[in-house]
Chain A
């Protein structure tokens, strides 16, 4: 904000103006969306109902988990375009392994009907498979020094291909009820609305990620790499290892996200997760994760996802044709990044 030598006098003269402008540059998108939400609420009072609240939370939770994964990549000046496809792969793996015993279109007809513990095992399988791909992402980005954009674009195609090969592009449904139960709500007594499990899971993930980013050396190294990779390396930070951990962790989060998306929708196909990486990147950016690296908070990521989901819900409530929704989302994304860059320019 300090701009040149007489910045102090300048600021004193125009403090109020300046602050309002800064505030708008920093939070412009959020302010606009709050207005849109209020407007929607006035037009459609059910927008503020508890039912819609739960609906929004259910949509935000898995997307927040995916966005948390992407945020680490973005903070280190990377990106991860394979996120969406990994979500899809995870959802497909989970789906094929968690079908009802008596479902006629079972993917693995001979799979025994294991107990509830099997759900956890399947989750771990999903995570393990995605982590392998994340590990490859990390290796390619850190050791081969392929730009993350290209490396993960390639991985996006590869993972999609793997998913196609695995499922042979057949839609998967008929899930066990204890799997879909994951997307239900924790109810107290006979209350009509409960706390969605997805919310609790996302909350735990958020707290863990916050802890890693702020309380652990790994987080410190991540921010340092994003801020100045060479300086971090000179300071003895193992930049390659740190980046690999980031991409692997990200993949694990996508897997969890995909698993939850599957539970939530009760069925899946190879198209699951398509474009989620862009949504996640957009959400992170709106939430203040700088595309120039080194800056970003978990709370920001949450706000970003929330804003993006609210925008979608508002448009649904206002009856905007779904086809137009993509256009609006695109505009919001570009505006958010343009504002982000402006912050950066202002700092120089």
Chain B
């Protein structure tokens, strides 16, 4: 085919210290088409887009726009070359008007005596024109914050079009939209496609891809898997191509030490936010490692944080160790013998300016205190013991935690909870950003804990880890529990199928 591509990326590679994030990835987008880019969490989709926009510098490969090789220095430069991105998380200024947001940083100016001032009349008129162009009739003088997220997204798209974008990237555009909004978005997408604008559509939602995309490129673990026309590939095939990797990671051997005792029973838990988790019910048994799988945005973290009292729930009930539990804040959960290792280690885990000792003991100081006076002899003994038992590599307990490696920081957080001797430990992405050796050690600790009769809930976005470590895996999609797999049935394909079981929107 002697076809001229709108965008052609060939052999794109990018390494970060220790990982090869992209390895010879190709992406060819035809003019006037919607090109779906699919892949699991961490497949490298975002990295590829960042390389395209000059946010990361690629190590190898070439980029052509309309057949002309280009070097893109930064997002601003990309815009000049006709590329625009509508981000997954929009970054608008809600307190300013629609027009001001659309013309941010490039306000039309006029002379006002000796001064150059913003020409609001031109700006508003132009904005209105562009909004009309994508079939939206908002008042450009309205505050952006009065719009819904979907409408803001449409404004973003109008902004991209107003900047003469030839290629618009939509990163998970429907993740927070209602049915009607999705339909409105698709109308805009079709309209633009009809006018020759190309779009890269990043999404996990099979049904949407079917409805809107012409071509599809699949990535896996930073590798290019292949490209197809959407009509030539089945849903099953897409899933298979996305996960089709052998289980290479090694996991410590584990025995099934599960008992019949239910230590945690969650019944019909619903978030106060309608788009977060809803009607979630599950049970955790003593001695069990219960995995929670799903794609980013499946609300697994939100569900667990609610169980731990970090988030509010609308309805539903929680039973801990056989008794109903009303959990309003983490203290309540801790009082019920629950511990939580959060996903965001820097944000809600470590206390950077304090020592390893303080970080280890912060959750258990009260156990070693009488009338508020801390018995440091006891604290030191316990902390030294956990440093030894978890082989935390630190010069001493007085070392600041921020000077340790990620893996050792994580072990300190684990030690923090072990010092409290909880029956239930919730671990949210316990091995994220940790090197292989430390990962293995954390797996060993987990296995040791369940042997001692503790129970673990592990959220993980790494499927091999989920399958390798869990006795049972619950899969969530878009706030609901969509399936449960165990033993032989716990395959990557099965998990992926449940994880992409979206409710049909705007079908």
Contacts and interface: CB of A to CB of B under 8 A. Distances in A.
Interface of A: 2, 215-218, 220-221, 223-224, 226-228, 230-238, 290, 293-295, 347
B331 interface: yes
B350 A218 contact: no
A2 B310 contact: no
Given A2-B403, A224-B362, A238-B331, A217 B369 contact: yes
Contacts of A216: 369, 372-374
A228 B352 CA distance: 7
Given A2-B403, A224-B354, A217 B372 contact: yes
A2 B402 CA distance: 11
A217 B340 contact: no
Contacts of A228: 347-348, 350-352
Contacts of B353: 223, 226-227, 290, 293-295
Contacts of B365: 217, 220-221
B349 interface: yes
Contacts of B308: 234
B372 A234 contact: no
Contacts of A218: 372
A220 B348 contact: no
Contacts of B369: 216-217
28 contacts: A215-B373, A216-B369, A216-B372, A217-B365, A220-B358, A220-B365, A220-B374, A221-B362, A223-B354, A224-B351, A224-B358, A224-B362, A226-B353, A227-B351, A227-B353, A228-B347, A228-B350, A230-B348, A231-B348, A233-B330, A234-B308, A234-B349, A235-B363, A236-B335, A236-B420, A238-B331, A294-B354, A295-B353
A236 B351 contact: no
Given A217-B365, A217-B372, A232 B351 contact: yes
Given A216-B372, A223-B354, A227-B353, A233 B362 contact: no
Contacts of B13: none
B398 interface: no
B455 interface: no
Interface in B351-369: 351-354, 358, 361-363, 365-366, 369
Given A217-B372, A226-B353, A235-B362, 15 more contacts: A2-B403, A215-B373, A217-B365, A221-B362, A223-B353, A224-B351, A227-B354, A230-B347, A231-B351, A234-B310, A234-B340, A294-B351, A294-B354, A295-B353, A347-B402
Contacts of B366: 217
A147 B100 CA distance: 29
B334 interface: yes
B441 to A, nearest CB: 22
Contacts of A236: 330-331, 334-335, 363, 420
A235 B350 contact: no
B28 interface: no
Which of B308, B310, B366: most chain A CB closer than 10 A?
B366
Which of B308, B331, B353, B374: most chain A CB closer than 10 A?
B353
A7 to B, nearest CB: 11
Which of A224, A233, A235: most chain B CB closer than 10 A?
A235
Contacts of A221: 362, 365
B408 interface: no
Contacts of B347: 228, 230-231
B312 interface: no
A221 B416 CA distance: 14
Contacts of B335: 236
B329 interface: yes
Contacts of A224: 351, 354, 358, 362
A274 B153 CA distance: 52
Contacts of B348: 228, 230-231, 234
Contacts of A231: 347-351
B174 interface: no
A4 to B, nearest CB: 12
Interface string B285-308: 000000000000000000000001
B501 interface: no
B329 A233 contact: yes
Interface in B239-276: none
B342 interface: yes
Interface string B309-325: 01000000000000000
B289 to A, nearest CB: 21
Nearest to A240: B329
Which of A218, A220, A347: most chain B CB closer than 10 A?
A220
A231 B416 CA distance: 12
A243 to B, nearest CB: 14
A2 B376 CA distance: 30
A111 B417 CA distance: 59
A79 to B, nearest CB: 18
A238 B372 CA distance: 14
Nearest to A228: B351
Contacts of A233: 310, 329-330
Contacts of B354: 223-224, 227, 294
B415 to A, nearest CB: 12
Nearest to B351: A227
Nearest to A1: B403
A157 B350 CA distance: 38
Q: List 3 tightest A-B contacts by C-beta distance, closest first.
A: A227-B351, A236-B334, A294-B353
Which of B329, B362, B369: most chain A CB closer than 10 A?
B362
A232 B329 contact: no
A221 B354 CA distance: 11
B362 A232 contact: yes
A227 B352 contact: yes
Contacts of A223: 351, 353-354, 358
Given A223-B354, A223-B358, A230-B347, A235 B330 contact: yes
A2 B363 CA distance: 29
B331 A220 contact: no
Contacts of A230: 347-348
A294 B351 CA distance: 9
B372 to A, nearest CB: 4
A110 to B, nearest CB: 43
Contacts of A226: 353
A258 B155 CA distance: 58
A156 B450 CA distance: 55
Contacts of A232: 351, 362
A231 B351 CA distance: 7
A293 B362 CA distance: 17
Nearest to B363: A235
Which of B308, B363, B403: most chain A CB closer than 10 A?
B363
B467 to A, nearest CB: 28
B363 A215 contact: no
Interface string B370-394: 0011101000000000000000000
